[in-house]
Amino acid sequence: MDDLVHASPRRDFHRVIVELRQRLFALSFVAKLVIVPILGLFLANCSDASMGPSEANTQTAVKIKPVSLARVELGKKHFVEFLEVMPGEVAMFEEGNIDDGDLPVDRSDWGQLLPSQVFKKLDPNKEVPGALQAADARVKEYKSKVAKIPNDKKKYDPSGSGFYGGQSESGPPDKDREDVSTPAPGIEAKANGRSAVAFDWDDYWWQTNYCSSYRVHSTWCPTYVAGAQTGWTYGMYFEMSAASMSYSQSAHYWVDWWNGSASVRLFDHTLGPRSWSTWSWPTEHWFWGGVEGFQPNPLVFFAKRTRTAIPWFNTYNFNPYNADRDFENDIQGVTHDASNWYFARTDYEWNDPEGELITPWYVGSNLQYGNPGRVTINSWYQSGWNHFGDITLHGSNIYIPVEQEGNPGAGCAIGVVTTSMVPIVLGWVPIYSGCPWIAYNPADFLFYMPDGPDVLRKFHIEISGSQIAIVEPEPPVYLWGIQGGLQGAEFSPRGNLYMFNGYRESPLRIYGVDPYNGQVYERGGWDVTPAERWEAEGVTVWDLTAGQAPNVYGQLHLQLLINYEWYEFNNDQVQFAHLYADDPSRL
C-alpha cells in the first residue's frame, strides 16, 4: 500500500473500505447478507452526487440499435444477450456483478458455434427462441459471403498473369491513434498485470478472467483508471470488457464501428457500481470503444482482446518461372528455416510414385538456376509410403504428410526428418481423405492437417529418439465457405493460416483462415487455362523484403504447377509466386 498515491485522507479511507469489502468474500453467506448491504449504504452516503460521462463520449453522429434476439439468465444480475448488429452479424453481450461472485463465461469455443448452439451451451434445458434459430441461417449466409471475393470486387494484375486480389478497407482518418487511459484520481494506474502493490486481488482477478492472450493477437488491460479508450483496430475478432469498480459510481461503456464514412455507435451501456460486462463480435471491421467512470470518483478496469484482420496481397514476381528442371516435376511443398528453402515432390517416373525431398537450398541462391540434390527415404518408400504433401518446419525438423498412392484405406502418416535430411521417424494418423499438407501453428504449438474439404484436425507431436507420439488434444476446426481442392498451407508467426487451393481447376485460390473460428477469407488467386493442367501446391510464409533472396520479394510464397503426364515425356512447369502484403503487420 505504500506505493499508492492518494488525493486525500477521505479517498485513503475509501480505499481501505474497498479492500475490506473484498475480504468479505471469505465470510459466511449469512455474514455477507448482513454486512455487505450496510457497507454499501455507508459508502453511498459518503460519496458526492453522481455525474455522468463526458459529452465527447456520448455524442456520435451515427447510431444503430442492435436487435436483441435472446437472453440467457445466469444469475441475479448475470446474463448473456444475443444482439444482431447487422444481418448475420451477431454480437454477444454479457454482464455480471462483482460482489455476487459472477465470473465470465468461457467463450473460447464459441467461434465454431452458431448462435442457437451457444444458447444451448449456456442453457441446455431451455428451448432456443425462434428469433435465434432464424438468425442461424443469416449467420451462415454471412459467413459464406465474406469467404469469397465477388467478381465485381476482384482487382486483376495489369501484367496479364491472371492474378486477382483486393485491398483492405482504408479505415477512418485517425486510424493510427493509440490506446489511451486516464489514471483514476488518487490511484496509480496499472496495465497488463503490473501492479503498484505487492499483491492486489482485484487486479489479479481482472487479469486472470479478462486479459488472457489465449486465441487472440493482442491484449490491452489497464486497471485502476478513470477511463480508457482503444485506438482503431481493423480486426476479425473484437472483444471488449469493462468494470465499474466503484461502490457508488457507474460507468459509461461503448463500442463503435467505422462504416466507410463515419464512426457508428453500435452499443451504449451504463454499468452500475460493481458491475462488469463483455462485448464480443467475430466479424471483419474497423472497431474502437471504451469506458469512462462517472464523476466524482471514477474507478474502472478495462480489457481489449483482438485478432487483427488478415491482409491482402499483390504479386511481385515468379522465380523460378518455368525453369524446366526434372526435380520440379510434381512439386508438392515448400518450407524454410532462417537460411534455406526446403522443397518436397513426388517422383512419378515410369508411373511409380516416390516421395523425395530437395536438399537445402540457400536463400542467397537464384532459384531460376541450379539443380540441387534429391533425397529418397528408402524405408518409407519400400513400406508403401510414397506420396509426399506440403511440408512444415518446427525447430530443426521437417514434418512431411505421407500417404500410400492409390490406397486411401491406409490413412496418413507424418514423417520427420532433420534439416540435414536425416530421417527420424514415421508415425500414423487416422485420416483417410488424403494427406495434402501439414502446418505447424506457433501460436498454439499444434500441427494442423485437413480431413476432407472443410475440416482441420489438430495434433500434438512429441519425438523421443526414434519414437513418435501423436495425440489429438482439441476438437477439429470446421471451415466456413472454403472452395477448391486443398493443396498447401502454412501458418504465419502470429498464428494466421494461409491456404492455397485448387486441383486441376480454375481459379487457384489463396485463403487466409482464422483457425479459432474456421472463418475463411479469400485474399486472391489466379484464373488459369487450361484448368485441367493446373494445380496449387505448397505455401510458406517468409519475410524476404530485406533483399536476402535474389529476385525474390514479399512475405507469402506459393507454388503453381502446370502438369504434363508421365507419358508425354515433358517436365512439368513450376511457377513459384512471391506476394507481398498490403499491411505486413497483420500477417
Q: Is residue 416 part of a domain?
A: yes
188 and 234 in a single domain? The answer is yes
479 and 517 in a single domain? The answer is yes
196 and 323 in a single domain? The answer is no
Amino acid found at 156: Y
pLDDT, averaged across the chain: 87
Residue 133 belongs to what domain range?
65-148+174-308
Nearest to 423 by CA among 431, 411, 415: 415
pLDDT at 13: 36
Gap between the Cα atoms of 549 and 143, Å rounded: 38
Q: Is residue 2 part of a domain?
A: no
215 and 80 in a single domain? The answer is yes
Residue entry with cell 529476385: 551
- If you average pLDDT over residues 277-304, what whole number do you get? 96
Gap between the Cα atoms of 267 and 91, Å rounded: 10
268 and 366 in a single domain? The answer is no
Gap between the Cα atoms of 317 and 239, Å rounded: 38
Q: pLDDT of 232-251, one tens digit each?
A: 999 999 999 999 999 999 99
Q: Is residue 37 part of a domain?
A: no
CATH classification of the domain holding 508: 2.115.10.20
In three-state form (DSSP H/G/I as H, E/B as E, the rest C), the secondary structure along 48-70 is: CCCECCCHHHCCCCEECCCEEEE
| Domain end marker among 290, 308, 326 | 308
Helices 29-46 and 9-23: angle between axes, nearest 10 degrees: 160
Q: Is residue 518 part of a domain?
A: yes
Nearest to 325 by CA among 580, 542, 72, 572: 572
- pLDDT beyond 70 at 18: no
- If you average pLDDT over residues 81-85, what whole number do you get? 97
pLDDT at 480: 92
Gap between the Cα atoms of 69 and 509, Å rounded: 36
Gap between the Cα atoms of 389 and 344, Å rounded: 7
| Domain end marker among 275, 308, 341 | 308
Query: Based on C-alpha coordinates, what's the Rg of the chain?
Result: 28
3-state helix, strand, coil in the chain (%, to 5): 20, 40, 40
304 and 317 in a single domain? The answer is no
What percentage of the chain reaches a pLDDT higher than 90? 77
How far, CA to CA in Å, does 330 sit from each of 161, 536, 563?
Answer: 22, 11, 7
Q: Is residue 118 part of a domain?
A: yes
Residue 348's pLDDT band, with cuts at 50, 70 and 90, is confident
Gap between the Cα atoms of 278 and 119, Å rounded: 16
Nearest to 228 by CA among 148, 165, 290, 155: 290
289 and 436 in a single domain? The answer is no
295 and 378 in a single domain? The answer is no
Q: Total domain count for the chain?
A: 2
Q: Over the range 53-87, which residues count as b (16 or more CB within 10 Å of their CB) and which as e?
A: beeebeeeeeeeebeebbebebeebbbbbbbbbbe
- pLDDT beyond 90 at 431: yes
All three cell numbers of 542: 517468409
Q: Is residue 123 part of a domain?
A: yes
Q: pLDDT of 127-186, one tens digit each?
A: 999 999 999 999 999 999 999 998 888 999 988 889 999 888 899 999 999 999 999 987
Q: Is residue 105 part of a domain?
A: yes
Q: Is residue 158 part of a domain?
A: no
Calculate the CA dihedral of residues 140, 146, 148, 154 and round it to 10 degrees.
Answer: 150
- If you average pLDDT over residues 111-132, what whole number do you get? 96
Amino acid found at 244: S
DSSP H helical ranges for 24-105: 29-46
pLDDT at 19: 41
Q: How far is the first Cα of the chain from the last one, in angstroms, to the nearest whole number?
A: 43
249 and 326 in a single domain? The answer is no
Spatial neighbors of 308 by CB under 8 A, at least 6 apart, are 217, 218, 233, 234, 235, 236, 585, 586
pLDDT at 194: 46
| Bridge partner list, 240 | 279, 304
- If you average pLDDT over residues 536-543, what whole number do you get? 98
Strands 180-183 and 155-156: unpaired
DSSP state of 45: H
pLDDT at 201: 84
Q: pLDDT of 306-338, one tens digit each?
A: 999 999 999 999 999 987 777 788 899 999 999
427 and 455 in a single domain? The answer is yes
285 and 257 in a single domain? The answer is yes
318 and 302 in a single domain? The answer is no
Residue entry with cell 476482384: 154
Strands 67-73 and 79-86: antiparallel
| Domain end marker among 247, 279, 308 | 308
Give the range with max mean pLDDT: 4-13, 326-335, 541-550. Answer: 541-550
